[in-house]
Chains A and B, each alone.
Chain A
Amino acid sequence: MELNVPLPHDAFIQMARPFRFQWEPAQDCFVILYPEGMVKLNQAAGLILNLCCKHNQSLAQTVESLAQDFGQEPQSIQDDVQEFLRIAHDNRWIELRQ
C-alpha cells in the first residue's frame, strides 16, 4: 500500500516487493537486495528497518527503542527516522503494513 511521509506514530511498515532486507555477515552491515543489485545501509538505517520490518515495531516503538539505545530524546531521533523513511519511500523500498 502507498504511504505518505511523515508517517503517523502508530504506522507499521514492511519491505515492498521486490526488495528484501537482511543482515550480510560478509559486508558487516544490513543490506537491501533487489534484482541484480544491493544497497549497503549505514548503521542507523539498518537499525530502523530492523526494528520496523524484522521486529514488527510501530514507528513510535522504533523511535522509543532507538532513543533508549542511544540515550537521546525521542524527539531528536524522530526527525532522523522520518527523514530515512522518506528516502526509503522515494526508493520504493517500503510500504505500509495493514
Chain B
Amino acid sequence: MITDGLNSGSKPPIPLWMLAELTYKCPLQCPYCSNPLAIAQSRGELSVDEWCDTLSQARALGAVQLGLSGGEPLLKGGVSQIIKHATDLGFYTNLITSGVGLTEKSIVALKSAGLEHIQLSVQAPEEVLNDQIAGRKCFREKLEAAALIKKHGFAMVMNVVLHRHNIGRLGELIELAVHLKADYLELANVQFDGWAYLNRKSLLPTRDQIDQALATTREYEKRMQGRLKIFYVLPDYYSDRPKACCNGWGSLSLVVSPSGFVMPCLGAHKLPIDDRPNIRDQSLGTIWRDSKLFNSFRGYDWMQEPCRSCPEKTKDFGGCRCQAFLLTGDASQTDPVCALSPKRSLVDTMLMEHEDVAVNQMVYRSLAESVRQCDR
C-alpha cells in the first residue's frame, strides 16, 4: 500500500521524472558506469515504436521530465524520432551523452525534434587523463561536441563523475566548464554500485580530497556569482546520513532499461525481488501503481529499526536500497552509510581499504568484462 511519497500527500504519487536507457551500447568504458554489470545478458532492445508508446503512457501518468541516456543514446537508431514524440507529448527532454558521435547533422536533427537540453559528460580537464578514464580517445570529440551544443543554442550541463583520480583537478574542471560556456556544472561523487563497486579501492577519494573539493567548489561558486550554476553531489560514504535516494522509492521517478524492464531506480536490477516488470508485458500504470517491485519500499511500513522510529525517515527515506543490499545482503536494512545504522562499520572498513591502483589498472566497463563478471 502507498502510505506516502514526496509528491503524494494523500494522493497517489506521480512519476514526474523518467529515465529512458535507450541502449547499453557505448563507445566509452568508464570504470564506474551506472549500467548493470550484466549488460552482456541484456537482449532485445525496445524498438522506436515501443519507446514512443512507453513515453505516451508515462506522459499520461504525469511524467514531465525525460532523461534519455544509455549507454550512449546517440547510438540508438531513431533517437530523434523518439525525442520528437516526447516533445509532441509535452515532455521536457534531456539528452545524457558522452558527446562521442555528435555531428552537425545529428545535432540539427535533435534540435528540430525539440530537444531542450544536453548533459555532456567529461571525465577530466585534460586529454590524457580524460581518455585514460574513458578507456578510449574522446576528449577532443567532447570539446567539439560542447561547441556544437552551444552553437545550436541548447542549454548545456557539463557532468563530471568525481573520484580519486580526478577530484584533485576540480579547479581545472570548473575552469573548463566556464571555457565551454556550460550553463550548469554537475559534480557527482561516484556512487559505489555495480562497476564502481568493483573498482572502489581505486576510485575512493581520501577524506582530505573530499574536504578540499568542497572548499574549492564553494570558492568558485562565490567567484562565479551565479554565472555558472554548480551542483555538487556529496559522497555519501564520508557522510553520517544517507542520501534521500530517488526521493523515496517509487515516489517520483522511474527508469526503463533498453529491453523494457521498468525500475524505481538505476540499481534495482540486482535486488532479490522476484518481480521484473516489463513494459512489453504490462502497462506502465499497472507497473507503477501495482507491481511488487515498485511497492516493495514505498512509504515507511517496510522499514526496520533504527529507521522505523527515526524522525529523519521522512527526509532520507532510509537511504539507498541498493546500497543496503550490496553491503548488508538485506535491502530493507538502514543504508549502512547512516551513523545510526548498526552496520556503519562496513562502510568505515571500506574507507580504510583504498589502494593506490593506477587508472589503467581498473576494471573497465565492456561486454567482454561483463561476460567475465557474469561467469563469476
Q: Which residues of chain B have C-beta atoms less than 8 A from A35's C-beta?
A: 94, 116-117, 119, 155, 157, 183-184
Are B62 and A18 in contact, with the CB atoms below 8 A? no
Are A18 and B116 in contact, with the CB atoms below 8 A? yes
Q: Say yes or no for B90: interface residue by CB 8 A criterion.
A: yes
What separation, in Å, do the CA atoms of A41 and B340 have in the docked complex?
38
Considering only CB atoms, which chain A residue lies closest to B61 in the complex? Answer: A26
What separation, in Å, do the CA atoms of A96 and B119 have in the docked complex?
27
Are A26 and B155 in contact, with the CB atoms below 8 A? no
Most chain B beta-carbon neighbours within 10 Å: one of A20, A24, A35: A35
Are B90 and A22 in contact, with the CB atoms below 8 A? yes
Q: Say yes or no for A36: interface residue by CB 8 A criterion.
A: yes
Q: Which residues of chain B have C-beta atoms less than 8 A from A36's C-beta?
A: 17, 65, 94
Are B157 and A33 in contact, with the CB atoms below 8 A? no
Q: Total number of A-B contacts with CB less than 8 angstroms?
A: 42
The one of A17, A24, A27, A31 in contact with B155, judged by C-beta atoms closer than 8 angstroms, is: A17
Considering only CB atoms, which chain B residue lies closest to A35 in the complex? Answer: B117
Q: Which residues of chain B have C-beta atoms less than 8 A from A17's C-beta?
A: 153, 155
Are A18 and B117 in contact, with the CB atoms below 8 A? yes
What separation, in Å, do the CA atoms of A68 and B105 have in the docked complex?
49
What separation, in Å, do the CA atoms of A20 and B117 have in the docked complex?
11
Q: Which residues of chain A have C-beta atoms less than 8 A from B153's C-beta?
A: 17
Are B92 and A33 in contact, with the CB atoms below 8 A? yes
What separation, in Å, do the CA atoms of A34 and B92 have in the docked complex?
8
Q: Say yes or no for B64: interface residue by CB 8 A criterion.
A: yes
What separation, in Å, do the CA atoms of A34 and B94 have in the docked complex?
10
Considering only CB atoms, which chain B residue lies closest to A27 in the complex? Answer: B62
**Residues A20 and B92 in contact in the complex (CB < 8 Å), given A26-B14, A38-B16:** yes
CB distance from B16 to the nearest CB of A (A): 7
Interface residues of A in 9-29 (CB under 8 A from B): 17-18, 20, 22, 24-27
How many interface residues does B have (CB within 8 Å)? 19
Interface residues of B in 241-273 (CB under 8 A from A): none
What separation, in Å, do the CA atoms of A20 and B153 have in the docked complex?
14
Q: Which residues of chain A have C-beta atoms less than 8 A from B119's C-beta?
A: 35
What separation, in Å, do the CA atoms of A95 and B124 have in the docked complex?
35
What separation, in Å, do the CA atoms of A95 and B52 have in the docked complex?
33
What separation, in Å, do the CA atoms of A58 and B163 have in the docked complex?
51
Are B64 and A24 in contact, with the CB atoms below 8 A? yes
Q: Mark A75-97, 1 if CB is under 8 A from B, else 0.
A: 00000000000000000000000
What separation, in Å, do the CA atoms of A27 and B16 have in the docked complex?
10
CB distance from B184 to the nearest CB of A (A): 6
Q: Mark A17-61, 1 if CB is under 8 A from B, else 0.
A: 110101011110001011111100000000000000000000000
Are B155 and A18 in contact, with the CB atoms below 8 A? yes
Are B62 and A24 in contact, with the CB atoms below 8 A? yes
CB distance from A72 to the nearest CB of B (A): 32
What separation, in Å, do the CA atoms of A37 and B119 have in the docked complex?
14
Q: Which residues of chain A have C-beta atoms less than 8 A from B14's C-beta?
A: 26-27
Considering only CB atoms, which chain B residue lies closest to A38 in the complex? Answer: B64
**Residues A33 and B65 in contact in the complex (CB < 8 Å), given A17-B153, A18-B155, A18-B183:** yes
The one of B61, B64, B183, B184 in contact with A33, judged by C-beta atoms closer than 8 angstroms, is: B64
What separation, in Å, do the CA atoms of A37 and B186 have in the docked complex?
14
Considering only CB atoms, which chain B residue lies closest to A23 in the complex? Answer: B90
CB distance from A94 to the nearest CB of B (A): 16
Q: Which residues of chain A have C-beta atoms less than 8 A from B92's C-beta?
A: 20, 33-34, 38
What separation, in Å, do the CA atoms of A83 and B65 have in the docked complex?
29
| A-B pairs with beta carbons under 8 Å apart, 7 shown | A18-B117, A20-B116, A26-B62, A27-B14, A27-B62, A33-B64, A33-B116
Considering only CB atoms, which chain A residue lies closest to B231 in the complex? Answer: A36
Interface residues of B in 123-169 (CB under 8 A from A): 153-155, 157
